[in-house]
Amino acid sequence: YCKGGLRSSLSAHSLMQMGYKNVSNLEGGLREWVFMGHSIYNALGELNVIEFEKLESE
């Protein structure tokens, strides 16, 4: 997922092209999810953001 859904849509498409089967995309991104009244916090009231870093190719 991403804020608006564009990057996650492109990523999901790329993963499917690589043969991954269990791929989902949150249409509209987190912005749409919140607009529709859904929570982005867990039961403890925490928002967990996972950061990824690009690894150098060998």
Q: State pLDDT tens for residues 26-58.
A: 888 888 888 888 888 878 888 776 666 666 766
φ, ψ at 34 (rounded to 5°): -70, -40
Domain ranges of the chain: 1-58
What's this model's pTM, rounded to 2 decimal places?
0.58
The count of residues in the chain is 58
pLDDT for 3 equals: 78
Q: Could you tell me the sign of the dihedral formed by the alpha carbons of 45, 26, 21, 49, in that order?
A: negative
Cα angle, residue 8 at apex, residues 7 and 11 outer, rounded to 5°: 90
pLDDT for 15 equals: 92
Residue 24 has pLDDT above 80, yes or no: yes
